[in-house]
């Protein structure tokens, strides 16, 4: 589940104002196999395409979301075994991501200064009982850990979010209402509406029968989550998720 959210964050990060879905399974040994689909909404496609073309970052006819570049940078992130994304449209990507150790995923970032001391962030914790009869996975994402995760995932994603003035990328402290007002004043109400209506959805199967799913729903071995993209982009409140199974 852990991995669920981290990759959810990846999708959300990756495509502000998008349709994103993650499906997959988490294994007893902490490995995970996921499949990701993400597509920019129409107004966001036009905006990002225009900004990229004006800066010379994207040549005419090239994908707005570059699956090869995103996959290459993600492949070096902690805990990732392999990434095989492909473009199914200029502004849509999909493909499998294999996580080697959920507890290592995006867990190597350090922040702080000499006065404060450097700190390591762990976004995901994974606990499996020694008897393999149960376990727990938790994800905690806030204004400190969010930028760390963004820095480890992909510079391409960071560029998209910085262009959208997302607090997750800029570090600015804004409420959700303030952020939507800012986006609307710069890019128009249509873009702000797409962001406010977007969700990142995840469907993850766990090693045993799910007993509880904080922040989501569950049935049998599967837990499902629908996270508003706006919550991730602003991190106005810390995001915390937990799945327990046995």
Q: Give pLDDT tens digits for 31-52.
A: 999 999 988 888 888 887 777 6
For residue 188, CA distances in Å to 44, 130, 184, 194, 198 come to 11, 54, 4, 11, 16
Residue ranges of the chain with per-residue pLDDT less than 50: 1-6, 109-119
Question: What pLDDT score was predicted for residue 142?
Answer: 84
Number of domains in the chain: 1
Residue 61 is part of which domain span?
A: 2-245
Give the β-pairing of 18-26 and 199-205: parallel
d(CA 138, CA 6): 10
28's tokens:
């007893």
Q: 170: which residues sit within 8 A by CB, 6+ positions away?
A: 162
Residue 211: strand, helix, or coil: strand
Question: What pLDDT score was predicted for residue 113?
Answer: 40
Angle, vertex CA 133, rays to CA 108 and CA 83, nearest 5: 35
Q: 197: which residues sit within 8 A by CB, 6+ positions away?
A: none
Question: What pLDDT score was predicted for residue 176?
Answer: 97
Question: What pLDDT score was predicted for residue 82?
Answer: 93
d(CA 93, CA 25): 20
Question: What pLDDT score was predicted for residue 111?
Answer: 43
């Amino acid at each position: 589940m852990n991995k669920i959210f981290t990759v959810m964050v990846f999708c959300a990060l990756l495509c502000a104002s998008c349709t994103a879905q993650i499906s997959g399974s988490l294994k007893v040994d902490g490995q995970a196999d996921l499949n990701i689909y993400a597509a920019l909404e129409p107004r966001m496609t036009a905006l990002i395409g225009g900004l990229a073309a004006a800066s010379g970052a994207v040549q005419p006819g090239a994908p707005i979301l570059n699956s090869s570049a995103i996959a290459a940078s993600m492949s070096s992130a902690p805990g990732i075994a392999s990434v095989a994304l492909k473009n199914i449209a200029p502004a849509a990507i999909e493909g499998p991501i294999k996580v080697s150790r959920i507890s290592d995923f995006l867990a190597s970032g350090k922040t702080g200064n000499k006065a404060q001391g450097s700190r390591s962030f762990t976004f995901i914790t994974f606990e499996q009982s020694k008897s393999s009869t149960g376990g727990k996975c938790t994800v905690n994402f806030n204004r400190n850990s969010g930028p760390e995760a963004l820095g480890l995932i992909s510079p391409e994603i960071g560029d998209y979010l910085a262009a959208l003035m997302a607090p997750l990328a800029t570090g600015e402290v804004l409420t959700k209402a303030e952020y939507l007002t800012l986006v609307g004043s710069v890019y128009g109400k249509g873009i702000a509406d797409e962001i406010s209506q977007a969700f990142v959805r995840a469907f993850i199967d766990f090693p045993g029968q799910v007993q509880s799913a904080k922040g989501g729903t569950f049935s049998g071995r599967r837990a499902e989550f629908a996270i508003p993209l706006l919550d991730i982009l602003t991190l106005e409140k810390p995001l915390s998720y937990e799945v327990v199974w046995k």
